[in-house]
Each structure stands twice: as structure tokens, then as C-alpha cells.
Amino acid sequence: MASVIASRYAQALFELAKQEDLLDACKEDLHVIVEGMVQYPELFALLKHPRIDKKERKDIVMKSFSGGQTYVMNFVKLLIDRNRFASIKEIEKRYQELYNEEKGIEIAYIQSALPLSDTEEKQIVDMLKAKLKKDIIAKVSIKPELIAGLRIQVAGDVLDNSASNRLQRLKEQAKNS
């Protein structure tokens, strides 16, 4: 249920931001607010607490994030008024997904057994850009359990060229023989 609510709120803010040509500014402001909630969990708890006066919570938001885009600040006040502030992280995530769709951006989750050099990472990103014809944002993580090779997840597909995956396939083939 919460993700449906988050999607609706994110969609509404996204459409308004697009209409006003503020997609980037709203994305950044929403991200700053969510990062603030992550860094200060007690502030997040305070702002989502239904027993604290809504006016007080809105005042806290206005003072804490005063430089934000008016649309985003009003959006956050609306979330507080409707007791939906607890969904802000999901809303920001969904807004980012909508933004990426609009701008033709894909997130590539690249797992490697060993650290990748900048050149290797760039080669992977360039290959994915050419294949998908989209801009790529790489999120690289080190997973020693892969033993060797890479596992790439992008656009709903998984390319697993890791040694652990090859060993697993050999094990399954040996079982079936």
C-alpha cells in the first residue's frame, strides 16, 4: 500500500516539476531532504510523528531546508498535512525512477570480485551505453564471493560472467549427468 501511495505522490510532484521545467531542481531538493533524514534519524522521527503539531513540523522543515524549491517545500508541507511524511524516502526513490525514464538514464549495478580501474569501469559503461542507447550511471561494488569476473544488472537484465556462476553451472551439469 505504501508504495502505491509513494508512487502517486512522486508522480504528482514529477508532473508539476516537468510542467514548470524544474525536474532537476526538484530532484536535487528532494534528495537533500531525504539525505537529511538519513543523517539525522531523530529529525525524521520527529517530522513523521503524528502527535506532534503539524504546524510545528512544517516550521521545522522550513527552517531546516529553507533554500529549497518552493514546489518541493510546499510538497513536503502537504505530506505532513496528510500524515504521509514517513513515505518521503519511497517518494524520492520513485521520483528518481521517473526522472531517469524521462532523461533516458539507466542504472547499472556492477559487481566485481576485484576493484575495477577507472579505465575498466569506463569501458563497461561505454559498452552498456552503446548496447542500450541510454546514458548509464554505474554503481560499482566489490563482491569477493564472485571469485573472478563480473555480474552486471541493468535494465532488468543480469549478465553474470563470474567464476562462482560458472562453477555453479558446472555443478548443476554434473548433477544432471
- pTM for the whole structure: 0.80
Distance separating alpha carbons of residues 53 and 61, to the nearest angstrom: 13
The verdict on domain 2-101 having CATH code 3.30.930.10 is no
For residue range 63-99, what is the model confidence (pLDDT) as tens digits?
A: 988 888 899 999 999 999 999 999 999 999 999 999 9
pLDDT of residue 166: 82
> Cα–Cα–Cα angle for 96, 100, 106, nearest 5°?
120
For residue range 120-130, what is the model confidence (pLDDT) as tens digits?
A: 999 999 999 99
> Cα–Cα–Cα angle for 96, 141, 123, nearest 5°?
85
State the pLDDT confidence band at 162, using cuts at 50, 70 and 90. Answer: confident
Amino acid in the structure at residue 48? K
For residue range 47-65, what is the model confidence (pLDDT) as tens digits?
A: 888 889 999 999 998 998 8
Of 80-84, 99-103, 145-149, 165-169, the range with the lowest mean pLDDT is 165-169
Q: Is the pLDDT of residue 155 over 60?
A: yes
pLDDT of residue 1: 46
The domain defined by 105-176 folds into Glutaredoxin (3.40.30)
Kindly list the domain boundaries of the chain, sorted by start residue: 2-101, 105-176
